[in-house]
Amino acid sequence: MNGESALPERGRDAREILADLEDLAADDPDYRAGRTFSLTYHLDDTHEAFLADVGRRFASANGLNPTAFKSLKRMESQIVGAAAGLLHGPDTVCGMLTAGGTESCMLAVKTHRDRARRLKKLRKPEMIIPMTGHVAWLKGAEYFGVRVHRLPETRDHRPDLKRLKKLINRRTIMVLGSAPEYPRGMIDPIPEMAEIAAGADVPFHVDACVGGFILPFMEMNGHSLPAWDFRTPGVTSISADLHKYGYAGKGASLILYRDLELFKDQIFVETEWPGGMFASAGLLGTRPGAAYATAWATLQSIGIDGYRRMARDTIATADALRAGVAGIAGLAIIGSPTGPLFAYRSTDPKIDILAVGDLMEQRGWLVDRVQKPDGLHAMVTLNHGRIVDRYLADLADAVRQLRENPQASPTGSAATYGLMAHVPARSMVRRRLRDIFAGLYAPGGGEIDLGAAAPARGLSGVAERVVSALARRRARKERRR
C-alpha cells in the first residue's frame, strides 16, 4: 500500500489500485462462502458484475433534484409503484427511495411527529414500539426528540396488546409493528395492533425492512401468512428494503405512505436561503444515481418468477436450519419465527449459548448474538443453501464440546456477557462505549486496534471489550475493599 494516506503525491495506475483494494478486502468476512449470518445479501458474482455495470452508467447522476435527472425520478416512481402493488396498497400509495432501512425508519418518525405537531399542536411527542422493534427506531426517536415507550412481551414473545391499549395516549405520534422483527424473526400481530392505533386515531407503521421483498413472494408460493401489509386498514406507512431480500446494491430502501397527505409531512422546505428556494423529501442531499439504477435494474433482472424461486429456496434453507437446530439436544428456537430470520437459545443450564457462539466463531462462522434471552441469530439468505449440513455439524460439535467441558470457552462473548452482571451502571457502559467508538473516528484512523479488539464481530466485539474492561475494574475495586 502506498503509505497510510489515501491521497498520493501523484495519481497511480488503475491496476495497482485494484490490487491494493484486493489486499484491503483480504480480512473482510467471507460472505461468498455463506459463512456470515448478517450484513450481506449476496446473490452471486454474475449479479454483482451486473450491478457494477449498471452503477457505472449512473455513477455521476444525482437524485438531489428530482426534476433534473428524470431517469432517476422515473426509476423511483416505477420502483415505488411495484412495491405498492406487492404490498397490496390502494392507488393512493406513494413514497420514495431512501438510502437504507435506517433512513426509511427515521423518516417515518419525522413524518409522524410533524403530522402530530400540525394536527394536534403536540409539543411532547411519544411513540410506542415493541421490545423487538429495530434499533433504528430508537435512533430516530433520539434524533427527532420523541420519547419511546417499549411494549413488553408476553410469555410467547409477542408484544403485549393490553399494555399497548394502556400506553397509547394523545401524545402518541405513531405505533410500530414489524414484519418480521429482527431479533427473533417473528411477525408482530399487525391487525390487532393497527386496530388499537386506529381506534386512537394514531398512525401505525409496519417495519418490513426485512420482510418487504420476501414475504409477498412467500405468499405467492402458497405460505399462509398473518396479515401485515396495506390490506390491513389501520396500516398507514411501511418501510421495505431493496438492499436486503430485494438483492439490490447497498443503499436502497423504500418508505411508503397510504396517501400523499401523510407524505407531505416528510418534506423539508426552505424559502429564504440565499442559495435559492429549496425542498427535499429525504434525509440526504445528494443521492447517488447508482443506487436508483441498481435497484431498478435488479427488479428487472430478477422479476416475480425469480423472487418466487429465491423465496422458496431461502425458506427451505431456513426451515432446514431451524429443524436441525431444534434437533440438537439442549438448543431451542426462540419464539415462532416466520420467514428467513430466527434465533435460538440454550435449554440446558450446562450449555452457555454465547460460548457456543464463540466456538462457532472459532470454526469460521460469523454469527450475531441476541439477548433477553441470550441466543444466537441467523439471517438466512439464498447463499446459505450450500452450508446447511456443515453449519449444523459444527453446531452439534460445539454443543457436544461444551457439554463435555463447560469451560471450553473461557474468553470471548460468553465471558464478557457473564461479566456484564458485574458492571454496576449501564450508563457507564454507554459512556465508555461512546468514547471507544469515537476512537474509531479519531484522526489517523482511531486508537482501537480493530484486529485485536473486534475480530469479525465489529461493534459487538468493541462492546464486549468495554464491558470486560469495566467489569475487571469493578472486580479490582471490590478486591481492594
Q: In 3D, which of 434, 404, 90 has the Cα closest to residue 260?
A: 90
User: In this structure, what is the dihedral angle of CA atoms 472, 368, 152, 426, given to the nearest 10 degrees?
Assistant: 20
Q: Is 133 helix (H, G, I), strand (E, B) or coil?
A: coil
Which of residues 84 and 105 has its CB atom nearest to ligand PLP in the complex? 105
Min. distance of Cβ 423 from ligand PLP in angstroms? 27
Q: In 3D, which of 295, 283, 286, 291 has the Cα closest to residue 63?
A: 286
Q: How far is it, in rounded angstroms, from Cα 264 to Cα 111? A: 8
Which of residues 100 and 282 has its CB atom nearest to ligand PLP in the complex? 100
Which of residues 76 and 352 has its CB atom nearest to ligand PLP in the complex? 76
**Helices and strands of the chain, counted as H and E runs:** 16, 13
Min. distance of Cβ 7 from ligand PLP in angstroms? 30
Residue nearest to ligand PLP (CB): 101
CA atoms within 13 A on the CB side of 83: 34
The answer to whether the CB of 180 falls within 8 A of the CB of 337 is yes
Min. distance of Cβ 137 from ligand PLP in angstroms? 8
Min. distance of Cβ 465 from ligand PLP in angstroms? 23
Which of residues 252 and 293 has its CB atom nearest to ligand PLP in the complex? 252
Min. distance of Cβ 246 from ligand PLP in angstroms? 11
Q: Which helix (H) or strand (E) holds 241?
A: strand 235-241
Q: How far is it, in rounded angstroms, from Cα 352 to Cα 315? A: 28
Strand order in the sheet with 94-98: 94-98, 253-257, 235-241, 204-208, 172-178, 126-130, 147-151
CA atoms within 13 A on the CB side of 238: 31
Which of residues 340 and 412 has its CB atom nearest to ligand PLP in the complex? 340
The DSSP code sequence of 203-220 is: -EEEEETTTTTTHHHHHH
Min. distance of Cβ 106 from ligand PLP in angstroms? 9
Burial of 115 (0-12, 13-18, 19+ CB in 10 A): buried
Which of residues 87 and 328 has its CB atom nearest to ligand PLP in the complex? 87
Min. distance of Cβ 405 from ligand PLP in angstroms? 35
Min. distance of Cβ 254 from ligand PLP in angstroms? 11
C-alpha cell of residue 400:
457436544
The answer to whether the CB of 254 falls within 8 A of the CB of 268 is no
Amino acid at 314: T
Which phi and psi (to 5°) does residue 97 adopt? -85, 135
Min. distance of Cβ 322 from ligand PLP in angstroms? 18
Which of residues 86 and 419 has its CB atom nearest to ligand PLP in the complex? 86
The DSSP code sequence of 134-195 is: -HHHHHHHHHTT-EEEEEPB-TTS-B-HHHHHHH--TTEEEEEEESS-TTT-PPP-HHHHHH
Min. distance of Cβ 151 from ligand PLP in angstroms? 15
Which of residues 24 and 135 has its CB atom nearest to ligand PLP in the complex? 135
Which of residues 209 and 328 has its CB atom nearest to ligand PLP in the complex? 209
Min. distance of Cβ 337 from ligand PLP in angstroms? 13
Which of residues 205 and 345 has its CB atom nearest to ligand PLP in the complex? 205
Which residue ranges make up the site for ligand PLP (CB under 6 A)? 100-102, 105, 134, 136, 178, 181-182, 207, 209-210, 241, 253
Which of residues 207 and 374 has its CB atom nearest to ligand PLP in the complex? 207
Min. distance of Cβ 182 from ligand PLP in angstroms? 4
Amino acid at 475: A
Sequence-distant (6+) residues with CB within 8 A of 163 are 151, 152
Q: Which helix (H) or strand (E) holds 403?
A: helix 388-404
Which of residues 207 and 394 has its CB atom nearest to ligand PLP in the complex? 207
